[in-house]
Chain A
């Protein structure tokens, strides 16, 4: 037992020593570790998702028919909106050509990536993907799923990368409100998504969409983030603040796309 305690104390000393090193020292080890995790993660995605989906369906059985009805209604509404938007898009394309604009939407390059790991603590909210520097990934690039922003690349390794989810408290993304054209900063956190620093003169509408503004860094403009649910700023504050809901269920994601400009 005494020998074991000596080993314990020596090990704690080594761990403390390692913790003083800069995190870049561990990048090669992390890369190998994540690579080793990959086959298990893909297997896990395949099996665990089926099991969890079965239980989710069982627990939501009562609400499924109501949800189905709601979705049919929403689908019809969206189809009519789509027709109007297609017209507007055509018109916009013609006008852009006339004015000499170069569209950058067509230059978006999507890199499909599997999620091979997740942060264990709910406070951290990061995921690991199986593409890295060799796939051309860079820090700050947007990560999307179904066209909706999920996070940004936080750190790249040789063949893997760490993604800061938008729900992470330390994630800050410049965004724009699609109708009122107000700009702000999207922040994550345990209380949910919020957009801060919206100028006071912007008339915010509930349910309006929030998209990336494309200001600064590697993130293109126009990626959908979610919808505004509530204005939470108080009287006397110099900026407005709103809460945003994202339609993406992060815990059920299996793969994502990294947006390369």
Chain B
């Protein structure tokens, strides 16, 4: 129980960081999406439960702060995680750094396309910038997560 409370508090801090602070370090006007990045990183490290928890709680709080329909971010995040977990990881069971970049890129392409369709505004340049910047952030965070979070297989071996 305490473990879950700690996790929930950590996710709350992440959301605060995302909405109130991280927006200050926008590169080319693109704010890194830490919640999606971290949840993908956890899924890639075979931590489905943790990844799902981050996507669910983070998504719900982003929905609260967003002008779009409530629940939209949560459902998109969960859909992306489901695609990665049930489909992509069958082909790349232990993704290396480059593969992870491709997975981040694909995830953000999907997210951007859905939001563009909903907002009614479209620009390939903006989508490309968003994919590049978020994939790079994803790559950096994945390197850190790889060092901190052990995958279930690594735990079994040790």
Contacts and interface: CB of A to CB of B under 8 A. Distances in A.
Mutual binders A and B? yes
Given A123-B112, A123-B126, A169-B119, A117 B67 contact: no
A116 B20 contact: yes
Main secondary structure of the interface of A (DSSP, over half): helix
Contact of A189 (B30, B33, B121): B121
A206 interface: no
Interface string A97-138: 000000000000000000011111111101010000000000
A19 interface: yes
Contacts of B52: 4, 8
Interface string A154-167: 11000000101000
Contacts of B19: 37, 41, 117-118, 120
A64 interface: no
Nearest to B79: A12
B122 interface: yes
B120 A19 contact: no
B24 A44 contact: yes
Interface stretch (A26-34, A73-81, A87-95, A237-245): A26-34
Contacts of A120: 18-19, 23, 31, 33, 62, 65-66
Classify chain A: how many residues form its interface, as a range: 35 or more
Contact of A124 (B16, B18, B68, B130): B68
B137 to A, nearest CB: 13
Contacts of B71: 15-16, 18-19
20 contacts: A8-B52, A12-B75, A12-B78, A15-B74, A26-B64, A40-B20, A44-B24, A47-B21, A48-B21, A52-B24, A118-B23, A119-B67, A120-B23, A122-B29, A124-B115, A124-B119, A128-B65, A154-B67, A169-B120, A251-B23
Task: Rank and list the top 6 A-B pairs by shortest CB-CB distance, nearest first.
Answer: A19-B71, A190-B123, A48-B24, A44-B21, A169-B121, A41-B20
Interface of B: 16, 18-21, 23-26, 29-31, 33, 48-49, 52, 56, 60-62, 64-72, 74-75, 78, 111-112, 115-116, 119-123, 125-126, 129-130
